[in-house]
Amino acid sequence: MNTPTSYRAWLLTDAPTSRNHARLSSFYKGWLSFRSNPMAMFGLGILIALLLIALFAPILAPHDWQAQDLSNRLQPLGTPGHILGTDSLGRDILSRLIEGTQITLYIVTLVALIAPVAGLLVGTVAGYAGGWVDVVLMRITDIFLAFPRLVLALAFVAALGAGIENAVLAISLTAWPPYARIARAETLTIRSSDYIAAIRLQGAGPFRIIIKHIWPLCISSLIVRVTLDMAGIILAAAGLGFLGLGAQPPSPEWGAMISEGRRFILDHWWVATMPGLAIFTVSLAFNLLGDGLRDVLDPKDGDSQ
Amino acid sequence: MIKVENLNVWFDDGYDRVDAVRGASFNVNQGESFGLVGESGSGKSTILRAMTGLAPTWSGRIEIDGLALHGHKRNRDFYKTVQMVFQDPYASLHPRHSVDQVLGEALHLQGFRDIDTRVVKLLDDVGLDRKFRFRYPHQLSGGQRQRVAIARALAGEPKVLLLDEPTSALDVSVQAEILNLLTDLREEHGLTYLMVSHDLPVIGHMCERLAVMKSGEIVEVMDVTQLRQMQAKHPYSQELIGVSVAH
Amino acid sequence: MTLLDVQNLWVKFPNRQGVFDAVRGVSFSLGRERLGIVGESGSGKSMTGRAILRLIRKPGIVQADHIALEGRNLLNLPEVEMRKVRGQQISMVMQDPKFSLNPVMRIGDQIMEAYLLHNRTSKAQARAKSLEMLRAVSINDPERVMRAYPHEMSGGMGQRIMIAMMLIPDPKILIADEPTSALDVSVQRQVLDIMDGLVKERGMGLIFISHDLNLVSEFCDRVLIMYAGQIVEVCDADKLHDAQHPYTQGLLQSLPRLDQPRKYLPVLQREDDWQKAPIAGDQA
Ligand SMILES: Nc1ncnc2c1ncn2[C@@H]1O[C@H](COP(=O)(O)OP(=O)(O)O)[C@@H](O)[C@H]1O
Ligand SMILES: Nc1ncnc2c1ncn2[C@@H]1O[C@H](COP(=O)(O)OP(=O)(O)O)[C@@H](O)[C@H]1O
Ligand SMILES: [Mg+2]
Ligand SMILES: [Mg+2]
């Protein structure tokens, strides 16, 4: 039982022997099909690296991200001691990027927790309840959808005040409506299916049906959507930072760094380009991950052998 | 056990009104197996859905186990008395729930506490090996799925089973197994069946009496000996029998 | 005269555990006749039909000694040539017409488009030809049907329209994969009569795939019985009820019958050696 092959066979079984075995087994099969997609693995690798960097930022950073050295300002790439150069205040760009990873992950995590959950709640309740509940909830969703995302976020930040937390809140508030739309559309098809009719005949109430039967089917497509949207979310946060409404100056948030570097973009291009590249890499990683997850989670493909 | 009088069911989506069932009446006795045959779209499933509250608008009188039904709300006693098996076993099981979850939840909703022992018993009842307990629907064949669906219907120990074409999505060899299982279960649990099918030989095999439906109306009620001796009175029933025997 | 000759056809699907063989060494030949393929679901009937047209999607693999259409091996044709074969020489009708017709296009436009794809003629000519085709499949009011959208058609009408579309290029072979399984018995008869007429009048070869033994025995000239990707038995359709193989017998006996009431239906007992012992397809 302890050799690797028998472990594998145990996980790949067609006849699980307990609840946990079944869960582990289907998880492992999902992992196997995810693993066979090299691009998705590449994306996952980048994100894990990012996580580790964020975790060990103080150790990894070659310099103090706040330390200014005005005699050493705007050094180009490859300067000894400052591989990615320095910014207008002589701070080491690499160290600031590393430190900024934490902020980026913080924003991404919070938005990813708030927006899809809100969208799922609104969408599934609207779709399952139907009638006036549906009409009211979907009109509200439409109102939010009608505004361009960044403009709406700007309005919220202007009302709530600048700062990362408010930026996150603003982005989440603008990000949920598409999720509500997706969740509602899926709920409409799920609602009329035979397995929902069957569980209603056992006497299940609407909350039980929504939470235990509809959510598990909506969540997978939402996860995929969220990872694909992640790039947009990072960019929105960076955009707010760039406009001076997100993270505030000394903070090494990537968008704010681009904003600072903008003034020197012609003579000292790397100051704005390096954080730009970081944003690009992370966005790409999330997109690749999302693509891979879609293959694993999409029940249409999952059903064929 | 089941009394249906002058049942009308319609679907009304603003512009078009579809009268799916018109003036249907029949009785099913305790312990009997009663069949509804007719071509697709003749309103067979709609009758079952009106009984279970899944079709919202109907008029007439439906009485099950002495209790008259109203509107589309049903109470706990109804769900304990009446259960349904659906046509397509590929669509009637939640794709993300294992057999154990499906049966466990049904038992929980029916108010049982000794769920583990009852899940095992249900699997035994429908002739599924215990190794299937933790599988997901996509790991089961069509026949095995239909057994799970039947086990779920039996969870609350109902008196009446509504069977909506329970074997028409299955191969003939698997159909034979499921029909045999249904025969056994009726005997063991003293069930009453109301079975819908477009397949006359299947109804002839399973039922003591049957009603023939055509475009929303019941054209004839007869018993199975009349059917076998081809003594149908209505021309449409005769035609239906003719086609089935020609095979 | 042999239209199509298939020798040792395999369809394989590689997967994590190894390779799954959906079709295992099937051989048969088709003349100007109605050839039935029956068997349970999953026995490889559809895969056989699709493999002839090289329509197996990746990662599936088609292998055979040859699939010869009037002596020309389809396996060696480049994809461009193959596209001409599909449609012009061999057509296929699928089980559910709803998925095969474009839902947002009028039926007439779809048929005319199909016709213009294969023939360089004027629109008026295409229109006249389309009407003729619809009449050929017993549609009485072809003008109205031409103007309609697919969802306005019943299942039987949809299936007739599909057959009409498949007939436009005047193919030599029609492969019908469960063409009537979604239809009611009376409509089923009409669709079968149409196909029957076509085989007789145009001298077409028909491969009729179905899981319904009675239907095939009534409608076809010859029947292949498939089990687990292999042909276990070939027999004349009218002698199907005297079939030799225990699998065929088992299938026939498990059908309920109005004239033989019994409490339990005999259940098919599967034996392992059915999978091992293939008979070389086409001796009948
Ligand atoms: N939800 C619905 N909305 C509108 N019409 C419906 C609906 N469900 C069924 N119908 C119509 O009711 C009629 C009877 O359908 P059904 O009872 O499903 O037939 P059967 O089960 O005999 O095949 C059909 O004409 C069908 O189109
Ligand atoms: N894309 C696929 N990958 C793997 N196996 C497949 C695929 N498509 C079909 N199969 C398998 O091939 C076998 C034959 O299928 P098919 O020819 O469709 O059967 P049928 O006789 O019902 O038409 C089945 O066991 C099916 O599971
Ligand atoms: Mg029905
Ligand atoms: Mg098939």
DSSP chain B: -EEEEEEEEEEE-SS-EEEEEEEEEEEE-TT-EEEEE--TTSSHHHHHHHHHT-S--EEEEEEETTEE--TT---HHHHHHEEEE-S-TTTSS-TT--HHHHHHHHHHHTT-S-HHHHHHHHHHHTT--GGGTT--GGGS-HHHHHHHHHHHHHTT--SEEEEESTTTTS-HHHHHHHHHHHHHHHHHHT-EEEEEES-HHHHHHH-SEEEEEETTEEEEEEEHHHHHTT---SHHHHHHHHHHHH-
C-alpha pair distances (Å), C231 with each of A228, B20, C36, C39, C210: 48, 44, 12, 9, 14
CATH code at A49-304? 1.10.3720.10
Q: CB distance B241–C258 less than 8 Å?
A: yes
Q: Is B233 on the interface with A (CB under 8 A)?
A: no
Say if residues B164 and B202 touch (Cβ distance below 8 Å).
no
Suggest the residue from B11, B80, B134, B138 to mutate for an interface test with chain A (most A CBs closer than 10 A). B134
Suggest the residue from A202, A208, A300 to mutate for an interface test with chain B (most B CBs closer than 10 A). A202
Alpha helix stretches (DSSP H) within C137-207:
142-147, 155-167, 185-202
Q: Is B237 on the interface with C (CB under 8 A)?
A: no
Q: Kindly report, residue by residue over C169-197, the tens digit of the pLDDT.
A: 788 999 999 887 767 777 778 788 888 88
B221 strand-pairing partners:
B211
Q: Kindly report, residue by residue over C36-94, the tens digit of the pLDDT.
A: 999 998 899 999 999 999 989 888 999 999 999 999 999 999 999 998 898 789 988 88
Q: Is B166 on the interface with A (CB under 8 A)?
A: no
Ligand 1 near B38 CB (within 6 A) = yes
- Sort strands B82-85 and B209-214 into parallel, antiparallel or unpaired: unpaired
Q: Is A32 on the interface with C (CB under 8 A)?
A: yes
Q: CB distance C184–B201 less than 8 Å?
A: no
B216 Cα nearest atom in ligand 1: 14
Q: Which residues contact B71 (CB under 8 A, 6 or more apart)?
A: B53
Whether the ipTM is more than 0.90: the answer is yes
As a whole number of angstroms, the distance between CA C218 and CA C237 comes to: 7
Nearest CA in chain A to C60: A305
Domain boundaries, given as residue ranges, for chain A: 49-304
Of A15, A204, A217, nearest to B109 by CB-CB distance is A204
Of B177, B228, B239, nearest to C258 by CB-CB distance is B228
Q: Which residues surround ligand 3, an ion (CB under 5 A)?
A: B 45
Per-residue confidence band for B14, with pLDDT thresholds at 50, 70 and 90: low
Say if residues C258 and B204 touch (Cβ distance below 8 Å).
yes
Q: CB distance B91–A194 less than 8 Å?
A: yes
Kindly report whether the peptide bond that precedes residue C59 is cis, defined as omega within 30 degrees of 0. yes
CATH superfamily for domain B2-246: P-loop containing nucleotide triphosphate hydrolases (3.40.50.300)
- Sort strands B58-64 and B67-68 into parallel, antiparallel or unpaired: antiparallel
B16 Cα nearest atom in ligand 1: 4
Residue type at position A14: D
| Å between B91 CA and nearest CA of chain A | 6
End-to-end CA distance of chain B: 35
The residue to mutate among B17, B36, B42, B46, having the most atoms of ligand 1 within 8 angstroms of its beta carbon, is: B46
**pLDDT by residue for chain A (305 residues), tens digit each?**
456 678 888 888 777 788 888 888 888 888 888 888 898 899 999 999 999 998 888 888 777 877 777 777 777 777 777 777 787 777 888 888 888 888 888 888 888 889 999 999 999 999 999 889 999 999 999 998 888 877 888 888 888 887 888 888 888 888 899 999 999 999 999 998 999 999 999 999 999 999 999 998 998 888 888 888 887 887 788 788 778 777 777 788 888 888 788 778 778 888 888 888 888 888 888 888 888 888 787 654 443 33
Q: CB distance B54–A15 less than 8 Å?
A: no
In this structure, the residue with its CA closest to atom 4 of ligand 1 is B11
B46 Cα nearest atom in ligand 1: 17
Q: CB distance B201–C257 less than 8 Å?
A: yes
- Residues in A touching C15 (Cβ below 8 Å): 305
**CA neighbours within 13 Å on the CB side: how many for B88?**
7
